[in-house]
Structure 1
Amino acid sequence: MVSHPIFHQTLVLFLLCVTTLSLVAADPTDGFTQLSLTSSNFQVQKPYDVSQGDRYTFINGVHRLWVYNSDKPHTTTSQTAPRTEIRITGYDYTSGVWQFEGHFYVPSGTTGTCIQQVFGGATHATTSQTRVYGGSLTHYQSTTLQQNIYNKWHRFNVIHDVGANNVKIYIDGIRKFNGNGRGAGVHYMKFGVYAQEGASPYMESRWRDIKLFRRY
């Protein structure tokens, strides 16, 4: 049987396409439904004794949040560390698979701060915290997610599967963490700056393109 060169060329192109597609990682939002977010879903939490404009701005689509390690807590009765965060309201959850997405920027010098939280858990106050220590992004303090993050925009995705007690974190579309959560509770998403151990005198993060998803 005489093979036709066009057949071989077509087969090679087909195999090349299949190989290329297999090397392209799926987007973390695949299979999720985007939920509606407006400014009414963004609740700013800042030191109780200063005005909102002294710790937060929203200009040209960018949320800029900053705090000092000498600041007061966000309420007069709180014993927690200083923070300027946005708490996403209207989408508290106790079950299901949820995802937060945003692009963040941390200026050099900011360290010892949490920039994103999945709040709520059975054994702790939070299920996930993404922190900055010395220019590296970490999950709590134990797992380094990304080094050399200062002064650059990065895409951030965190997926929380309540039923499976699982958390996945993606930086710039690449999975960096896949581990256990901290049990079921009343959960919601937060982002900004929240002082942790070894906090720098001044902490800042900037966020844009905030999205919330759910898998149905």
Structure 2
Amino acid sequence: MPAINTEDKHLTVLNLFTTDAPEKQDSLIQEMTKIVQAAAYEGWMSSTVHAGVDSPGTANLIQWRSSVDLENRYAGEEFKHRTLPVFGEITTSIRLLQNEIAYAVTHPSLGGVLEVDPNRGDYTAITVVGVAQEDQAELVKVLSTDQADLADVPGFRSLAVFKGLRARGVDGAFVVLYSQWESKEAYDAYREQPQTEQPAARQTAEARVKDLATSVDSNTYRVVLTRSAEA
């Protein structure tokens, strides 16, 4: 299974698609499945397709050896003249986010390994936080500090913080949070915990994030397909 590891130096791409109807989400997943099952691109390492839960849409977490390999894919005739037009017909927005891993934490039961596994039934939240370029490093630091308390949160499985490098469909700098939970109920309970009951470190961090963020966009997902080059 694909794993997210702060020791890895490869490029992580998150392709986020939104649409306005569940049946269009089904079409997106079908199109993504075709691409993933046939993938044999130079430098491609893995792709993991997520189906939207809270709002219709999909996310594809893709690992590439380097940004050069990805740009070669983007420059190809298939991507320009078939892939993008097909997705353009069934989506309301397309964001292609290139990132590097900055921080990761897992529940002790996972042995420090952050895997993306469709068989585990994770309830996955992906949040894109817009930020001024000069504040991006501080935002990454704030989101990556004092997160050890998460291990004690019921239902928590993992959190990865990605520093955005460049993107199509997004203006300005950004940071991405990718978190895995045992269930929707566990995630909602964490999100809705009264501020007075939160650890002091969380209160401080969330207040600073609110100051730094220029936009926040989030959706939740279930992993439906993964494939690696090794397979």
Same fold flag (TM > 0.5) = no
Higher gyration radius (CA): 1
TM-score, normalised to structure 1, is 0.28
Between Structure 1 and Structure 2, which shows a larger proportion of helix residues?
A: 2
TM-score, normalised to structure 2, is 0.27
